[in-house]
Structure 1
Amino acid sequence: MTVLAKRSSDRWLRGIRGGARVPAIAAFVLGLAASLTATADTFQGPLEQPAQSSSLAARGPLLAIAAAGSRFVAVGQRGHIVYSDDAGNTWKQASVPVSTDLVAVSFASATKGWAVGHGGVVLHTADAGATWTKQLDGRKSADIAVRYLESKVGGLPSAQKLVEREKRLASDGGTQPLMAVHFESETTGCVAGAFNRLFCTEDGGNTWTPWMDRIDNPNELHFYAIAGCANGICLAGEQGMVWRFDAEKGRFVTRALPYQGSVFGLLADGADTLLAFGLRGSLFRSGDEGKSWERVSIGSQAGITSGAVLPGGAILLATQAGEIVRSLDAGRTFARLKPTRPMAYYGVMSAPGGKAVLVGSEGVRVEAAHD
């Protein structure tokens, strides 16, 4: 991502955040690019340049995948977005107005979806991922946040601190990344990212409201995941932290894990089970909306980067080491599958015919989702 400041860049690249080493996937997402600060008269950054067309777009690094009806849509580096209408066998490249790295994607319906990434960018599609437009970027979101939080000064104890933080980020170019996106309908959704950043919309992204003041996150930990969970929305991020939205309180409250590493993802099975996964093969299961957690072994120390629930309820998880594990008992135990062409995986989706479509360091793979 574009770096907020030299001090922040050094901290990320050294892996210092509360004394914990930054995991490989977080470093990949958070710290790849150097700061791009040339003047607008002589240079156009990745937020102004469209993604270049490439016949190899589906073979380069792809960081997330989602389903748009029967279509699969994957996002990755340099603004590349590809889509498939034949269960992942062939892929076409989408038209994208930015060339910044994209790290997460969510579809609320078969046609309408959102993608987020470096530079605080939010992209929207209304044609199932074939073409995209920019709705938001870091500079615009910083301005929105400052105006919103300044209106809260005097009535919210933390507002002044949040305003000062937002102004610092804005002075650094407003390039803080968004790392996660979740839309529960074509109008309602949220995007989340570095330094406690959370913006939500109720009109399909035409307007956005900062929600940073509605989260129990005084240390401004980064968010790496946002997902629908039982009776609400959940966030996850650094230092083993999970948050669940409490409708009665109107804010996100902590549901911390018995674990201090980064949480890369959340997966709900549609019932009461919630899985949180991350660094060093760490996996935790909750059956009570995150009030209590139990550790589950997958037999690996590799970072778990993504998961999917299959038709019938089986659960797949994928790792940075090219491993795929499957659970047939709602996440209580997992068994190893044997992919034919493993790579570092960053996203997985269920596909027809008992298969899974996976994206990662070498593009796209289609693998059997069974023994």
Structure 2
Amino acid sequence: MAQRMPGIVMVVFVTIFAFYAFYDRPTPDYRPTATQADKIRVDGLARGDGHLVAVGESGHLLVSDDEGKSWREAHVGKPVEATLTQVLFTDATTGFAIGYDGLVLRTVDGGKSWTEVHIDKEAPGPLLGICAAGGGRLFVAGSFGQFLMSADRGQSWANVPVDLPDAPHLNAVGCSSDDERAMVAGEMGVVLRSADGGRDWQPVAIPYKGSIYGVMRLSRDEWLLYGMRGHVLRSDDFGATWRTVPMQGETSFFGGTRLADGRIVLVGQDGTVVTSADKGRSFQKTGMRGREVYTAALELSPGRILLSGDDGLSEAELPRTLVSLDGRS
């Protein structure tokens, strides 16, 4: 009997284990898996309804509920592998993310969940810029002359032919819901403007033939372009004429934002962050932050911004001394 005891114990153990394994019990309430946002490339930033949203490589679409202290992956109806390049909210709850494969994702809950509204696996390269105009219209610009438009608040999209030689990359597009003016810019100094909500586009001459990476609408007539090798251009007449803004060095700028106090922030290579308190007429460096390449900036609170780039997400403090837009302290 003693010799059979080990076998009996083993049978009892296996029986109990099997019963436990197949017993119908509730699934534990696991918390969403956190994502290390400083370990992946992030290209775009935006603010939704109580959430921050960041998009980047390999389809990462991150959401933060605590002003960037922690991040989790947003829910996407169909898994995304294509790199996402930009994200934009048109109101507190409705937003769009764009990227490779002609991909456009849409959220209606402030960024917590997303669905695919457009995809083109034959697209020659990534979509790179997006803006929202009035009347529910949205514009998306991309590589090799890609240009998409939606007239129904982003539910459907159509390709818009752009009559440009050599199909240059269109890197950025700017517009506003306040009027029908819009502007798109890209490589080789290509700039187009539309005064009728995107129905007709006209070429604009600028004093630079390199790549422009950003378009910023400051007012109906005031516009700012920024791009390669520190080139920043400003117009007071909707692009009819341009003035080159003096800059220190030749750092390329890839992203920009306007703060609540009216200042403009541009970010780019070599950890460079510059600010303007006079609507882009002049800029001051806030200091170099190593060799990082920054792609976007988003205001978190007065004097504090969130930065995205090759090394993920980080924060920076800006000088708290403000200068009014007319140049007085």
Into which bin does the TM-score normalised by the smaller protein fall?
Answer: 0.7 to 0.9
How is 1:157-172 mapped onto 2 (pairs within 5 angstroms)? none
2:172 to 225, 229, 243: 225
Structure 1 Cα separation of the partners of residues 269 and 49 of structure 2: 27
State the match for 1:93 in structure 2: 73
Q: Which moved more, 1:303-312 or 1:80-89?
A: 80-89
User: 1:58 Cα deviation (Å)?
Assistant: 4.7
Amino acid at match of 1:109: D
Report the equivalent of 2:119: 137
Choose 188-197 or 340-349, whichever is displaced more: 340-349
- Report deviation, 1:344: 1.1
Q: Deviations over 1:77-130 (max 9, x none)?
A: 000011223332222221232111111111101111111111111111112112
Structure 2: gaps spanning 5 or more residues: 1-32, 321-329
Q: Is the 8 A contact 2:101 2:125 kept in 1?
A: yes
Q: Does 1:315 align with 2:264?
A: yes
Distance 1:85 1:58 in 2: 17
- The residue identity in structure 2 corresponding to 1:220 is A
CA contact (8 A) 1:279 1:302 kept: yes
Q: Which has the higher contact order (CA 8 A, sep 6+)?
A: 1
Superposition pairs of residues 213-362 of structure 1, within 5 angstroms: 215-228=162-175, 231-247=180-196, 250-270=199-219, 272-338=221-287, 343-362=292-311
Taking only aligned residues, the RMSD between alpha carbons, in angstroms, comes to 2.3
Runs in 1 of length 4+ with deviation above 3 angstroms? 173-176, 184-187, 339-342
| Equivalent position of 1:196 in the other structure | 145
State the SS of the aligned residue for 1:318. Answer: strand
Relative distance call for 1:199 and 1:58 in structure 2 (3 A) is same
- Which structure carries more strand by proportion? 2
Residues 340 and 367 of structure 1 are in contact (CA less than 8 Å); yes or no, is this contact kept in structure 2? no
TM-score, normalised with respect to structure 2: 0.80
Q: Amino acid of the residue matched to residue 268 of structure 1?
A: R
How many angstroms does 1:350 deviate by? 1.9
Whichever structure has more helix as a proportion of its residues is 1
Count of residue pairs brought into register by the alignment: 284
CA contact (8 A) 2:234 2:242 kept: yes
Partner of 2:59: 79
- Paired with 2:275 and 2:181, the residues of 1 have a C-alpha distance of 26
Structure 2 residue aligned with 1:62? 42
Q: What amino acid sits opposite 1:301 in the alignment? A: E
- Structure 1 counterpart SS, 2:287: coil
Q: Supply the distance in 1 between the matched residues of 2:173 and 2:236 (Cα, whole angstroms).
A: 18
| 8 Å CA contact 1:64, 1:359 repeated in 2 | yes
Percent identical residues = 31
Could you list the per-position Cα deviations for residues 10-48 of structure 1 after superposition, in whole angstroms to 9, with x for gaps in the alignment? xxxxxxxxxxxxxxxxxxxxxxxxxxxxxxxxxxxxxxx
Match of 2:87 in 1: 105
TM-score of the superposed pair, with normalisation by structure 1:
0.71
1:111-164 deviation digits (Å, cap 9, x = unpaired)? 11111111111111112112211111114xxxxxxxxxxxxxxxxxxxxxxxxx
Cα deviation 1:225-252 (Å, max 9, x = unaligned): 0111675111110111111113299311
Aligned-partner Cα distance in 2 for 1:342–1:366: 15
CA distance in 1, matches of 2:216, 2:198: 24
> For the pair shown, which has the larger CA radius of gyration, 1 or 2?
2
1:303, distance to aligned residue in structure 2 (A)? 0.8
State the secondary structure of the residue aligned to 2:229. helix
Measure, in 1, the Cα distance between the counterparts of 2:135 and 2:203.
28
**For residues 176 and 119 of structure 1, what CA distance do their matches in structure 2 show?**
7
Deviation at 1:328, TM superposition (A): 0.9
Q: Distance in 2 between matches of 1:364 and 1:249?
A: 34
Change (3 A) 1:261 1:108: same
Q: Distance in 2 between matches of 1:185 and 1:73?
A: 23
Letter in 2 for 1:287: D
Partners of 2:163 and 2:98 in 1: CA distance: 23
SS of equivalent to 1:199:
strand
Do the aligned residues in 1 keep the contact of 2:270 with 2:288 (CA within 8 Å)? no
Q: 1:249 to 1:99 in 2, by over 3 A?
A: closer
Cα pair distance change 1:219/1:246, threshold 3 Å = farther
What does the per-residue CA deviation read over 1:48-68, in whole Å, with 9 as the maximum and x for residues that have no partner? xxxxx7732453110111122
- Whether the 8 Å contact between 1:199 and 1:210 is mirrored in structure 2 is yes
CA distance in 1, matches of 2:273, 2:133: 27
Alignment correspondent of 2:8: none
Aligned partners of 1:310, 1:333: CA distance in 2, in Å? 16
